[in-house]
Amino acid sequence: MNGRQLWTSIRDVLNRQLRLFEEEEETDELDNEDVVREAHQEWVGARNFFDNVTDPALVDYAIYAMQAAEKRYMYLLKRARDRDGDA
């Protein structure tokens, strides 16, 4: 993977994360537990990818994807806990 492909992949991950956040903000009908569970699975998958990546060109991408998934999971978990505390 060359530098341009790497940046394209990173941009795609960023755009995907942004769309997910926007969808979550707009949709209160989603069950919080399901959204948090899916985000956790995404984080676990990203960690597994990082643990198994062998191509040096993908290491930065794997780190970024893992960190983005972790931030999303932590955000959703906090939001769910805050919402449950308000109920």
The tally of CA atoms less than 13 A away on the side-chain side of residue 71 is 11
The rounded distance, in Å, linking the Cα atoms of 27 and 25 is 6
Lowest mean pLDDT across 30-34, 36-40, 66-70, 74-78: 30-34
pTM of the model: 0.65
Q: Which residue has the higher pLDDT, 12 or 28?
A: 12
Nearest to 50 by CA among 3, 13, 22, 79: 13
Kindly list the domain boundaries of the chain, sorted by start residue.
Answer: 3-86
The rounded distance, in Å, linking the Cα atoms of 8 and 4 is 6
Query: Residues 58, 66, 22, 40: is their CA dihedral positive or negative?
Result: positive
What is the rounded radius of gyration, in angstroms, for the C-alpha atoms of the chain?
Answer: 15
**48-71 pLDDT tens trace:** 999 999 988 889 889 999 999 999
